[in-house]
Amino acid sequence: MKENIDRQVTLKEIASYVNLSPYYFSHLFKAETGYAPIEFAAKNRIDTAKLLLKTTSLSIADIAFRVGYSSSSGFINIFYKKVGFTPTEFRNLSI
């Protein structure tokens, strides 16, 4: 999942990679991590975006694309819902 952060990977793809049914994989994954696979992927994207905001001068649009969002506006909305700050506000607070 972490290696494919820049694209949407389906549960079916991941489950078939480890030769499990999507349902059983999801069950095992949540038991092990505490997150459903889709929740983990979303958290990983936001965590990676936060790191990029703190450590690079990449534009918000570039960061959005690098973490798998097709539009910066969608990324900004989701980032704000999850973090409580816009990416720009977060970057400014991290300086």
Give residue-wise pLDDT tens across range 29-69: 999 999 999 899 899 999 999 999 999 999 999 999 999 99
Q: Which residue has the higher pLDDT, 84 or 9?
A: 84
Which residues form the domain of 70? 2-94
The CATH number for 16's domain is: 1.10.10.60
The pTM (predicted TM-score) of the whole model is 0.82
> Per the structure, how many domains does the chain have?
1
Distances in whole angstroms, Cα of residue 48 to Cα of each of 17, 21, 31, 67, 92: 24, 28, 23, 7, 17
Enter the tokens of residue 95.
């300086």
* DSSP class of 57: -
